[in-house]
Amino acid sequence: MRTDPLTRPQDASAGMAPSRRLGASVVWRTTLLILFFAGLVGILVALASTVMVAREERQRMQQSLVELMETVERTASVAAFARDEQLAYEVARGLLRNGTVSRVVIREGDNELAAVGEASVDTRTVTLPVLTLALASPFDPSERVGDLQLWPASERIDHDAGAYSGYIAIILLVQVVVVVLAVAWVVLNVVTRPVKKLSDDLHQLKVGSGELIVLPPGHRNDEIGRLTEDINSLIGRTGDLLAAERDMRAQREESERKFRLLFESAQTGIFTLDGEGVLHDWNPWFSRMLGLPAHGDAARRYALGALLGDDTSRLDALMVRALSDQRPAAADFEIPHGTAGSLWLHLVLNPMPGNLMQGIVNDVTEQKRAEASAIAMAERDPLTGLLNRRGIEHRLGDALATLRPDTGLALMVVDLDGFKQVNDTMGHDAGDRVLVAAARHLEAVVRRTDLVARIGGDEFVVVLCALESADTARFIASKIVSTLARPVDCGDGQSATIGASVGVAYTATPADAADKLMRRADDAMYEAKRAGKSQFRFAAGS
């Protein structure tokens, strides 16, 4: 498994319409917003200033007209006082030369001394009021001698004021545009560009590759610099975390591999089992041992009980014990295996959470065999391979206990005659050979199910099981006597002739005690000895 860099959502702007990308870009958005608002403000200011400037300009022009009238007032007064049309006309003409004046009238009382120009009748513009200046006598300020009346040229004034205010508005707009562009440029280069660059760098960064974001130049000591440093430290920490996670994962994989190896190659069966005795998981050793496929498959359910051939529900009892006591429970199971007999498995069940059990199976066939052979050794005579005293006592008890009705059991005590002489004259090896040969003869005479034992130096015991009558015992006893009377090869081309005295005790009663039976057979054997050896005697009551 490879550690991929953190997956990201697809770049949202890729392959989109430019308009969407404009909206998605902080650079464009800030620029457009600045341009928009500043442009709006500029236009509003220009409009307001246009109106205000026009009004101001109109007032200023009116004021200048008033001043103009005041300039000629004295002369006009003189003209009115002297009723001098010529002078009045000159004054009026002089006034009319100003473009913002459309008509001038100078009166002396009700008499028009001079009237020049035409009153404009342009309905489109706001007609400015007619300006009237009272003309006083040059010699008596309190005496009114006439009027000076002046009609402003409204359309001309409007036009001039409009032109002037338009000029002002253009200057303002130019100023606004310049300021806006400057602000936009500054914001763009000082804030949004670096931010966008940060964003782009961060977006293209491969986390965990050790790359860091480049600090935008000139932003070392401001917030953008701090943001960059913070992002870099975050990236570093993320990288460390990723590396740590990678290491941990590698470690985990390593240990998993080790465990898997242990699990796979263990010379022990390892498995899990549910409360119903169904196998969930197992290792190769287990599958080899119990002839399962290497891996479980959902379609087939394998019950452990069936695999173990457990027909006495010992496994169920074991499972109940493990799950109810919540303690490991163990038992040995013997299962038929091939032709070579049986396989012994030692099973341990460990309870796990969730009504599950973890199990371990070990092949204990060898130990069992060793144990059995140890037991056998303990119950056998090493020289002849026959049962020894303990072995025959052990088995005799069993044979008596399992004695079926209408059947009998015969116990024979066989004592070799003249063995001591062979031992003394021909040596221990010869004696041993005689004993082994006697043992083989005894085994040859009886059935496989019968028991043969050597319980002393030259004393043997034969137990005949499942006899229908004492006659069979009689026949076998005579056969033993005749067989052991033959010469025995002692090696080195020598042979020895010995015999056997046999005492037989017969019983059909299971309750009979083994030791009593033994004593009766023993007594019968001594009787046979006393009767001259190489013969058998039945114990009394048999």
Partner 1 sequence: MSRLLLALWLALYGAAAAAHGIAVIVNPDSGIDSISREEVSHLFLGRIKHLLPGTPAVVIDTLPLRQAFYQALVRRGLPEIDAYWARLRFSGRTQPPMQIESAEMVIERVARDRNAIGYIDGALVDSRVRPVLRLED
Give the interface with partner 1 as residue ranges (CB under 8 A).
74-75, 78-79, 81-87, 90, 138-140
Instruction: Give least dist CB 139 to partner 1, A.
Output: 4
The values of phi and psi at residue 488, to 5°, are: -115, 135
Residue with Cβ nearer partner 1 (85 or 393):
85
Residue with Cβ nearer partner 1 (139 or 340):
139
Residue with Cβ nearer partner 1 (147 or 310):
147
Instruction: Give least dist CB 94 to partner 1, A.
Output: 13
Instruction: Give least dist CB 63 to partner 1, A.
Output: 26
Instruction: Give least dist CB 86 to partner 1, A.
Output: 4
Residue with Cβ nearer partner 1 (143 or 515):
143
Q: What is the 3-state secondary structure (H, E, C) of 427-478?
A: CHHHHHHHHHHHHHHHHHHCCCCCEEEECCCCEEEEEEEEECCHHHHHHHHH
DSSP 116-185: EE-----SSSPPPPPEEEEEEETTEEEEEEEEEEEEE-HHHHHHHHHHHHHHHHHHHHHHHHHHHHHHHH
Q: For residues 264 and 462, give the distance between their C-alpha atoms in angstroms, rounded to a whole number.
A: 52
Instruction: Give least dist CB 107 to partner 1, A.
Output: 15
Q: For residues 508 and 524, give the distance between their C-alpha atoms in angstroms, rounded to a whole number.
A: 18
Whether the Cβ atoms of residue 69 and residue 150 lie closer than 8 Å to each other: yes
Closest CA to 360 of 288, 276, 285, 260: 285
Instruction: Give least dist CB 47 to partner 1, A.
Output: 49
Closest CA to 111 of 140, 130, 129, 88: 88
Q: For residues 481 and 501, give the distance between their C-alpha atoms in angstroms, rounded to a whole number.
A: 7
- 346: which 2 tokens? 């030692």
Helix, strand, coil in percent for the chain, rounding step 5: 50, 20, 25
The values of phi and psi at residue 437, to 5°, are: -60, -45
Measure the CA angle with vertex 465, ends 368 and 542; round to 5°: 140
Instruction: Give least dist CB 76 to partner 1, A.
Output: 10
At 37 the three-state DSSP class reads helix
Instruction: Give least dist CB 106 to partner 1, A.
Output: 13
Instruction: Give least dist CB 95 to partner 1, A.
Output: 16
Whether the Cβ atoms of residue 484 and residue 445 lie closer than 8 Å to each other: no
Q: For residues 77 and 65, give the distance between their C-alpha atoms in angstroms, rounded to a whole number.
A: 17
Instruction: Give least dist CB 74 to partner 1, A.
Output: 8
| CB atoms closer than 10 angstroms to residue 39 | 14
Q: For residues 383 and 394, give the distance between their C-alpha atoms in angstroms, rounded to a whole number.
A: 20
Spell out the residues 6+ positions from residue 164 whose beta carbon is closer than 8 angstroms to its own: 53, 54, 57
Residue with Cβ nearer partner 1 (78 or 131):
78
